[in-house]
């Protein structure tokens, strides 16, 4: 699908990875590289946007604006790896790709992005409403 192609081409490196032009560190995703630039080389402009309420990073202004509109609300979906609360299964998918890609590939193997997403949906835990 076009979404899969977008994710693969825009957010994941092809083979050689992405390197920091200042220190040479290699990253698997553009977002990881941008976050590194923001944290380790703050004197250089970066395309990372940070929520002022919770310090979460986003690679686009739109992503930050979407997050800020719901920041602080209850998060009923829980990551089974780190127990972070998330608001939706789509947020969990992004979270798994950006933070737990190594675990996804260990569980699913180096299959398609769709297989990884199907696995992510199969392990979703929904917190009980209070």
Task: Kindly report the CATH number assigned to the domain that includes residue 17.
Answer: 3.30.160
Q: What is the pLDDT of residue 54?
A: 80
Domain shared by 8 and 61, yes or no: yes
Mean pLDDT, rounded, for 59-84 = 82
Average pLDDT, whole number, for the chain?
A: 74
Domain shared by 11 and 38, yes or no: yes
Q: How many domains does the chain have?
A: 2
Decide if 92 contacts 81 (C-beta within 8 A): no
Q: In this structure, are strands 77-78 and 57-58 parallel, antiparallel, or unpaired?
A: unpaired
Final residue in a domain of this structure, among 27, 46, 68: 68
Q: State the residue range of the domain holding 99.
A: 77-126
Strand partners, 126: 77
Decide if 94 contacts 79 (C-beta within 8 A): no
Final residue in a domain of this structure, among 18, 43, 68: 68
Mean pLDDT, rounded, for 10-17 = 55
Domain shared by 7 and 35, yes or no: yes
Domain shared by 81 and 105, yes or no: yes
Output Rg (C-alpha) for the chain, integer angstroms.
Answer: 16
Q: What is the pLDDT of residue 22?
A: 77
- Percent of the chain predicted with pLDDT > 70: 65
- Measured CA to CA, the distance from residue 16 to residue 67 in angstroms comes to 31
Which of 34-38, 71-75, 96-100, 102-106 is least confident? Answer: 102-106
- Percent of the chain predicted with pLDDT > 90: 0
pLDDT tens digits, residue range 14-69?
A: 555 678 877 889 888 777 887 888 788 877 766 667 788 887 777 778 888 888 88
Domain shared by 20 and 47, yes or no: yes
Domain shared by 59 and 17, yes or no: yes
81: part of which helix (H) or strand (E)? none
């Amino acid at each position: 699908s076009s979404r899969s192609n977008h994710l693969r081409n825009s957010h994941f490196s092809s083979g050689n990875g992405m390197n920091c032009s200042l220190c040479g560190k290699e990253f698997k995703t553009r977002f990881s590289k941008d976050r590194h630039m923001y944290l380790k080389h703050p004197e250089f402009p970066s395309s990372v946007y940070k929520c002022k309420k919770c310090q979460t990073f986003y690679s686009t202004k739109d992503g930050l604006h979407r997050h800020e509109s719901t920041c602080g609300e209850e998060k009923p979906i829980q990551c089974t790896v780190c127990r972070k609360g998330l608001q939706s299964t789509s947020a969990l998918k992004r979270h798994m790709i950006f933070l737990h890609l190594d675990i996804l590939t260990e569980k699913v193997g180096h299959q398609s992005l769709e297989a990884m997403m199907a696995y992510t949906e199969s392990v979703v835990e929904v917190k009980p409403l209070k």
